[in-house]
């Protein structure tokens, strides 16, 4: 369904992106932000899903500045490699790339952003800092607690797993206390990465409920 395109950030740097178009006129735009595994098979599938829901969907390759065209699976060595690349990425530069994706998705109408893991953190950051968004959804963003003093400019929905070993419930409680205007949900028995059906942590019940809430959230705000 999708195609590879090139985005140009405000600093002139060009990055890749995966673009999926809806069958008819878009009812809005969705920016999909990757995990530490790049714009891989799963993220492309998520992007295709939002296109099938009627949105112009764009997944920017926010690792391109440090490792162009990076894609991986979910083995432990790949987790370590993805985390190492994350350490080389600059948040401000990633925000420039995300802004370029928001601008592209805006060709479809009002824009929402959804991100997973690293992308969940960056979706929250975009809700606070980016221009042109109307809604934001973050799945298990591990660094959101460190930026909970920042207030999103747009309606924001956050999903967390109850048994996520990388995001303690104390962090979730901190976020809820600091940002009561955000809708925050914790999914019983769900761990980190519960949305991804290609990972061992996949939790179908949590995935389905979070997705239902996300669809309703975007339908309301886009």
- Residues catalogued as catalytic: 117, 164, 192
Rg (CA), the chain: 16
196 and 167 Cβ atoms separated by less than 8 Å: no
16 and 45 Cβ atoms separated by less than 8 Å: no
Tokens of 166: 């990388």
Nearest to 137 by CA among 37, 55, 40, 67: 55
Largest CA distance in the chain: 44
Determine which helix (DSSP H) or strand (DSSP E) holds 45, and give its type and residue range: helix 41-52
CA angle 149, 79, 147 (to 5 degrees): 5
Alpha helices in 89-168, H assignment, sequence order: 91-105, 118-129
What φ, ψ does residue 159 adopt, rounded to 5°? -115, 135
């Amino acid at each position: 369904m999708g195609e590879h395109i090139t985005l140009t950030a405000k600093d002139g740097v060009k990055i890749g992106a995966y673009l999926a178009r809806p069958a008819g006129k878009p009812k809005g735009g969705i920016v999909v932000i990757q995990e530490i595994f790049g714009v891989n098979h799963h993220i492309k599938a998520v992007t295709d899903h939002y296109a099938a829901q009627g949105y112009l969907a764009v997944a920017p390759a926010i690792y391109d500045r440090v490792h162009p065209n990076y894609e991986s699976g979910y083995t432990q060595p790949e987790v370590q490699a993805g985390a190492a690349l994350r350490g080389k990425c600059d948040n401000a530069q990633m925000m420039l790339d995300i802004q370029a994706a928001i601008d592209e998705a805006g060709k479809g109408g009002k824009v929402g952003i959804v991100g997973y893991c690293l992308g969940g953190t960056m979706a929250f950051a975009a809700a606070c800092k980016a221009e042109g968004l109307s809604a934001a959804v973050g799945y298990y963003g591990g660094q959101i607690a460190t930026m909970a003093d920042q207030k999103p400019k747009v309606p924001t929905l956050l999903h967390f797993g109850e048994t996520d070993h990388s995001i303690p419930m104390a962090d979730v409680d901190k976020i809820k206390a600091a940002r009561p205007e955000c809708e925050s949900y914790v999914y019983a028995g769900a761990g980190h990465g519960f949305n991804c059906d290609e990972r061992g942590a996949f939790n179908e019940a949590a995935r389905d409920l979070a997705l239902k809430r996300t669809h309703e959230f975007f339908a309301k705000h886009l």
